[in-house]
Amino acid sequence: MADLAAVERQGVVYARPAEYARWWDEMVTACHCQPKTPLGVIAWYTLRPGMDHKFPCGVERCVGWWWETDQVFIAQGYTQLEWLVKHEMLHAILHDGTHRHRLFHRDLSQGGVAAPLSQQSVLSRTSH
Ligand SMILES: [Zn+2]
């Protein structure tokens, strides 16, 4: 299981990029659901330089991690990666760390947020 305190110590809060609002709206539309959390309350963290994507996420390596305290952690260099940010957004919208929702099993071209196969082997994938 991940250690939230350890990740927080490695993380730096960053200002939400402008396109996140559009990505959020696209995910809300795609899932036909009422967000359990407003976008504005989510705290976005990236890791300090040199930490790469070594989140203590418990399952291989992760480049993104949603936590139920409305905190999202994105590895440095990945904060503009649409499928990854949307993947974490969907966890926040559903307030659910599982991957049961159908959109977790479709790729971005199908409106979903599954890790692209070509990146899956290189980056592993998001755990949460
Ligand atoms: Zn996930």
Domain count, the chain: 1
Pick the closest to residue 75 from 46, 48, 98 (CA basis): 46
State in Å: Cα 84 to ligand 1 middle: 9
Query: Residue 123 and residue 40: Cα distance in Å, rounded?
Result: 28
Query: Residue 128 and residue 67: Cα distance in Å, rounded?
Result: 8
Tens digits of per-residue pLDDT, 4-17?
787 788 789 999 99
State in Å: Cα 12 to ligand 1 middle: 21
Contact at 8 Å (CB) between 74 and 17? no
Q: Specify the pairing of strand 43-47 against strand 71-74.
A: parallel
Tens digits of per-residue pLDDT, 80-106?
999 999 999 999 999 998 889 999 998
State in Å: Cα 18 to ligand 1 middle: 22
**Structural domain span for residue 52:** 4-123
Per the domain annotation, does 128 fall within a domain? Answer: no
Per the domain annotation, does 100 fall within a domain? Answer: yes
State in Å: Cα 49 to ligand 1 middle: 23
Query: Residue 31 and residue 94: Cα distance in Å, rounded?
Result: 9
Tens digits of per-residue pLDDT, 2-48?
577 877 887 899 999 999 999 999 999 999 999 999 999 999 999 77
Contact at 8 Å (CB) between 75 and 47? yes
